[in-house]
């Protein structure tokens, strides 16, 4: 056969845009499924639950860090970026997991933690064993103290409480230099002006991309570039937000974008190009800079994690983020819950005066939780999110309607926030409790051993095995919503329908409408075929169908 008479072979077209409208399920590996019975979730556990995730109807899974780690910060203290923590499995297990996910049509995203390593990383050990000014120390941020050495080099605070500087002591007890850690002392910050650091991370991106990983979630993307010119300037107080001109010494500096432009070149070496999503807690108008197609391509919008259950707030957040995403060329992202915030079923069930973050972090007595209200609103908000154009990020357990676990005994708390604030703030363990898969003991099907964080008795009501058999459960709602989203999701347009200020109503395409009533009073339900609702829709005898309070309905309007 010659070239001219060859019938063209069908080359599968790589869908480079798969992420734009994807639903991404966040797995917190240590708390998802434990295959070997040591109380800690693992990679083989994820593999075993791939059928569950495929049935749920998500498009991709994102794994929080599973790398070797001392677990000083839930795995966000990485000791080796190119391996699997032996407690969580092996690289072969990882390859099996990717193969199973891909076989089920799911993409795989992994977390990359570039701002800091673990203090167990070989580089930091080398730095400790080396002299001030040595190349080994130049990968991190070491400085002499002020006032003869005893005062930290600057006033910079750690995000977990206390100073961002820790002083080293020689084996003979003599104090010496300080090193920077914007998080826990076990998480020393890298110096990203060092080319060796830059090259090493590019090698890591290639390592996982070569293993078939489809994308990366970039931890603390806004923190890599720092103004280290002495004297070190004070940081902006957190309460006032970050400046919007890139002038903060620590976060959201303009130079950070050069790093991500280099990353984009690496991501584009692959077909389809690998995706990336930035975790960047920056001013709204600066988020889209990270999402430019020449950089990471997408950035998290966390505004819904901070919003009240309030129609005006939701509407403003949706409008502005769709505009910003369109400006950058990315699609928008939506997040109601993740491993760092109070689960949304709890946020919406707390008294209106309670700030969710304060509750998350409070060391004192938890305010009264109204579970029925919390769950009703959470289901409505989730359906609203799943009707929006863009990517929806679903955090493990939200599909079960889980609440935050508020009563973990103090002596079992693991979050470094708890320790760094000297037990003033509890931290994030309440959303990281291992999932309930069934009603068996001792771990609700999570594994065969006591889980690493204690599960409450009420998990029995929310176990997967229970909810699977209940057509009205939150799991059934997510499954139906995700199946419909797959059928209906085309294009990225949204048209607002303004009929009632208590209602957020928008139309997508082909007559698909999403209508959310934020008030507790019933509202008029627009005419149309009800496709799905987050709560029961009633039609009074002889009257028109009503949209109950705190409910979302999807309609097809002809």
Helix H or strand E encompassing 509? none
Q: How far apart are CA 472 and CA 535, in angstroms?
A: 8
Q: Is 395 in the site for ligand GLC (CB under 6 A)?
A: no
Map the footprint of ligand GLC across residues 193-222, applying CB under 6 A.
Answer: 219-220
Q: How far is the CB of 28 from ligand GLC (least distance, A)?
A: 9
User: Pick the catalytic residue: 219, 295, 399, 415?
Assistant: 219
**Encoded tokens for 186:** 């076990």
Q: How far is the CB of 435 from ligand GLC (least distance, A)?
A: 18
Residue of 183, 263, 300, 478 that binds ligand GLC (CB under 6 A): 183
Contacts 24+ apart (CB under 8 A), 297-301: 297/19, 297/264, 297/267, 297/330, 298/19, 298/330, 298/331, 298/333, 298/391, 299/221, 299/330, 299/333, 300/333, 300/335, 300/393, 301/325, 301/332, 301/333, 301/334, 301/335
Residue of 42, 189, 248, 340 that binds ligand GLC (CB under 6 A): 340
Nearer of residues 28 and 444 to ligand GLC, judged by Cβ: 28
Q: How far apart are CA 355 and CA 353, in angstroms?
A: 6
Q: Is 73 in the site for ligand GLC (CB under 6 A)?
A: yes
Q: How far apart are CA 288 and CA 360, in angstroms?
A: 28
Residues 110-139: x where in contact with ligand GLC by CB under 6 A, - otherwise, as a string = ---x--------------------------
Contacts 24+ apart (CB under 8 A), 540-546: 546/522
CA 301 to each of CA 108, 150, 239, 281, 304: distance values in angstroms, whole numbers, following the listed order: 20, 40, 19, 8, 8
What are the phi and psi torsion angles at 63 (to 5°)? -100, 120
Q: How far is the CB of 30 from ligand GLC (least distance, A)?
A: 12
441 half-sphere exposure, CB direction, 13 A CA radius: 1
Q: How far apart are CA 354 and CA 28, in angstroms?
A: 27
Residue of 67, 76, 314, 418 that binds ligand GLC (CB under 6 A): 76
Q: How far apart are CA 456 and CA 476, in angstroms?
A: 22
Q: How far is the CB of 3 from ligand GLC (least distance, A)?
A: 53
CA-based nearest residue to 393, from 385, 401, 404? 385
Residues 240-279: x where in contact with ligand GLC by CB under 6 A, - otherwise, as a string = ---------------------------------------x
Nearer of residues 221 and 481 to ligand GLC, judged by Cβ: 221
Nearer of residues 342 and 477 to ligand GLC, judged by Cβ: 342
Nearer of residues 291 and 553 to ligand GLC, judged by Cβ: 291
Map the footprint of ligand GLC across residues 424-483, applying CB under 6 A.
Answer: none
User: Pick the catalytic residue: 199, 269, 285, 470?
Assistant: 269
Shortest-Cβ-distance residue relative to ligand GLC: 76
Q: Where are the beta strands (DSSP E) in 361-442?
A: 391-395
Nearer of residues 77 and 467 to ligand GLC, judged by Cβ: 77
Q: Is 290 in the site for ligand GLC (CB under 6 A)?
A: no
Whether residue 529 lies in the annotated active site? no
Whether residue 219 lies in the annotated active site? yes
Nearer of residues 281 and 348 to ligand GLC, judged by Cβ: 281
Residues 320-339: x where in contact with ligand GLC by CB under 6 A, - otherwise, as a string = -------------------x
DSSP 190: B
Size of site (CB under 6 A) for ligand GLC = 9
DSSP 362: B
Are 438 and 429 in contact by the 8 Å Cβ rule? The answer is: no
Contact positions vs ligand GLC (CB under 6 A) = 73, 76, 113, 183, 219-220, 279, 339-340
Among all residues, which ones are annotated catalytic?
219, 269
């Amino acid at each position: 056969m010659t070239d001219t008479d060859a019938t063209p072979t069908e080359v599968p077209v790589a869908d480079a845009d798969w992420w734009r409208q994807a639903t991404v399920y966040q797995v917190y590996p240590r708390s998802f499924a434990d295959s070997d019975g040591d109380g800690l979730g693992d990679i083989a556990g994820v593999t075993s639950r791939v059928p569950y995730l495929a049935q749920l109807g998500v498009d991709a899974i994102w794994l929080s860090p599973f790398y070797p780690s001392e677990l000083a910060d839930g795995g966000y203290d990485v000791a080796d970026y190119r391996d699997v923590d032996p407690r969580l499995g092996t690289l072969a297990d990882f390859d099996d997991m990717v193969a199973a996910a891909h076989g089920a049509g799911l993409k795989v995203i992994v977390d990359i933690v570039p701002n800091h390593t673990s203090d167990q990383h070989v580089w930091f050990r080398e730095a400790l064993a080396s002299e001030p000014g040595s190349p080994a120390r130049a990968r991190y941020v070491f400085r002499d103290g002020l006032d003869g050495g005893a005062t930290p080099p600057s006033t910079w605070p750690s995000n977990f409480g206390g100073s961002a500087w820790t002083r080293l002591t020689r084996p003979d007890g003599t104090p010496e230099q300080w090193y920077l850690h914007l998080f826990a002392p076990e998480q020393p910050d890298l110096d990203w002006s060092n080319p060796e650091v830059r090259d090493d991370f590019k090698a890591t991106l290639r390592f996982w991309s070569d293993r078939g990983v489809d994308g990366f979630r970039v931890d603390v993307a806004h923190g890599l570039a720092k103004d280290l010119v002495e004297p070190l300037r004070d940081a902006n107080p957190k309460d006032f937000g970050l400046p919007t001109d890139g002038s903060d010494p620590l976060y959201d500096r303009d130079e950070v974008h050069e790093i991500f432009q280099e990353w984009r070149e690496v991501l584009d070496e692959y077909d389809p190009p690998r995706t990336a999503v930035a975790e960047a807690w920056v001013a709204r108008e600066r988020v889209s800079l990270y999402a430019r197609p020449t950089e990471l391509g997408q950035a998290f919008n966390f505004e819904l994690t901070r919003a009240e259950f309030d129609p005006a707030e939701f509407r403003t957040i949706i409008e502005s983020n769709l505009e910003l995403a369109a400006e950058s060329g990315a699609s928008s992202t939506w997040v109601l819950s993740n491993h760092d915030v109070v689960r949304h079923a709890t946020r919406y069930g707390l008294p209106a005066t309670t700030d969710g973050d304060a509750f998350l972090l409070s060391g004192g007595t938890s305010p009264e939780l109204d579970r029925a209200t919390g769950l009703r609103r959470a289901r409505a908000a989730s359906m609203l999110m799943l009707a929006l154009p863009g990517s929806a990020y679903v955090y493990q357990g939200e599909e079960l309607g889980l609440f935050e676990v508020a009563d973990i005994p103090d002596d079992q708390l693991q979050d470094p926030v708890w320790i760094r604030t000297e037990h003033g703030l509890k931290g994030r363990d309440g959303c990281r409790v291992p999932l309930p898969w069934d009603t068996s003991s001792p771990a609700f099907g999570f594994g065969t051993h006591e889980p690493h964080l204690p599960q409450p008795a009420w998990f029995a009501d929310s176990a997967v095995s229970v909810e699977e058999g209940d057509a009205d459960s939150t799991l059934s709602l997510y499954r139906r919503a995700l199946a419909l989203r797959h059928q209906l999701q085309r294009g990225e347009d949204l048209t607002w329908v303004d009929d009632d200020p208590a209602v957020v109503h928008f139309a997508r395409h082909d007559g698909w409408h999403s209508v959310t009533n934020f008030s507790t009073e019933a509202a008029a339900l627009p005419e149309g075929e009800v496709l799905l609702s987050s709560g029961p829709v009633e039609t009074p005898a002889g009257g028109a169908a009503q949209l109950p309070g705190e409910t979302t309905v999807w309609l097809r309007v002809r």
